[in-house]
Structure 1
Amino acid sequence: MIINVLLVDDRQLLLECLSYRLNNEPTIRVVGAISNPEFLLHEINTNSPDIVLMNIRMKFSSGLDLTIELLKNMPHLRVVILSKYDYVEYVQATYNAGASAFITEEKSTQELVFTIKQVYLGYKLFPKIEENKIDKMLTPKEYEILTRIAEDKTNSEISEEMMISIRTVEYHISSIIRKLNVESRVGAVVTAIKRGLLSIK
């Protein structure tokens, strides 16, 4: 069994480090390591990776947005998200995006290899979330509404597009503002971008 892995990160040094470590694992083969996501589709079509290991935040793109787009057209592909931080929002957003696993950079090579092997076998691996943090997670619907807010949509437009009442939209926005600990819609978008939950288009 050989697992083909494609690495995506805007830090060249980290790419080289990951490539070296993973290629020392007999069952894993790094088929590509790219720092520019513009070449992602080309690399996937050329090298047919089983798993894409991608950073959640990069200079000019979001690993979450890329994951969503990839899985729309390639639902068979498995994505492992790598992050410097284990924020509960990151874990939830990674899960919502359809990725198969979330792992932090502080983990050992052995833990990363284990994660890759488990994902290859069809398992999903996400950190356990403390009960007192569960109420701070954005639901998939809240994340969808937040994305539309970032697109400068009004409550009425969001209501129409999502086919829910304006009152329901307002309820979800209030929940988003509370969970992100901000005071306004704009504050929610700014905070979400800073935390890597949204990317700047």
Structure 2
Amino acid sequence: MTIRVALVDDDALVRAGLRMILGGDPALEIVGEASDGRAALDLISSEVPDVVLMDIRMPRMDGLAATRALQERGDRARVIVLTTFDTDDMVFTALRHGAAGFLLKDTPPAQLVAAVHRVANGEPMLSPSVTAQLIASVVAAPDDRRQRARELLGRLTDRETEVAIAIERGLSNAEIAAELFMGVATVKTHVGHLFTKLDAANRVQIARCIHDAGLA
């Protein structure tokens, strides 16, 4: 199946580089480009991409505002925020606004292509440095947060706990399936249960729960 991709960045050279990188994969089709968030909304409406690579700092409307607008109007396009900035505030804001991924612009080409495939398949994707930064932000969790995390984990089955720990390690669904000897569909079912039982909105929050409970 062909994955339709839109590129949103105010730097034409960056867009050209992304087009070159992604164009080497026959399963990816670049359906359009935009140089700001407002133009991106029009592009996404007309071309209906599966995945959008979205810069943050752009004129007229930045990438975070555009991502939020896409979420509010119910677009099915999944957004990967691609930026040179990785501050906690930007990461949290992007995730709250519905971003499915957060990658730095120095992400190696092969990993960028893989990220587009993973996000198109419904899996979130964070740069390893971003994941490490989010985990580091909750180092030395207070006792009340640790107790809360352990209470939440007490709701899980042993298998669900294993999947949660694997998520904290940054493994994809396919990697978890291979390591724990189960089908990818079964992993997805367990992940769905984790979202519900841990009151988590994304995989980062699952990882935080594992870290807060001292199981990392």
C-alpha distance in structure 1 between counterparts of 2:136 and 2:21, whole Å: 36
- Does the 8 Å CA contact 1:71/1:77 hold for their aligned counterparts? no
1:129 alignment partner AA: A
Q: How does 1:1-201 map to 2 (within 5 A)?
A: 1-126=1-126, 127-130=130-133, 131-134=135-138
Unaligned runs of 5+ in 2: 140-216
**Deviations 1:138-192, CA, capped at 9 Å, x for gaps:** xxxxxxxxxxxxxxxxxxxxxxxxxxxxxxxxxxxxxxxxxxxxxxxxxxxxxxx
The verdict on how the C-alpha distance between 1:134 and 1:58 changes in structure 2, with shifts beyond 3 A counting, is farther
Q: CA offset at residue 26 of structure 1?
A: 1.1
TM-score scaled by length of structure 1: 0.62
State the Cα distance separating 1:83 from its structure 2 match. 1.0
Report the CA distance shift for 1:129/1:89 in structure 2 as closer, same or farther (over 3 A). Answer: farther
The answer for unaligned runs of 5 or more in structure 1 is 136-201
**Regions of 4+ moved over 4 Å:** none
Q: CA deviation at 1:30?
A: 0.5
On the 8 A contact 2:40/2:66 being kept in 1, the answer is: no
CA–CA separation in structure 1 for the residues paired with 2:80 and 2:117:
11
Check 1:38–1:61 CA distance in 2 against 1; reply closer, same or farther (3 A cut).
Answer: closer
Q: Offset of 1:75 from its aligned partner?
A: 4.1
TM-score norm. by structure 2 comes to 0.58
Per the TM alignment, residue 17 of structure 1 is displaced from its structure 2 partner at its CA by 1.2
Question: How many positions carry a matched residue from both structures?
Answer: 135
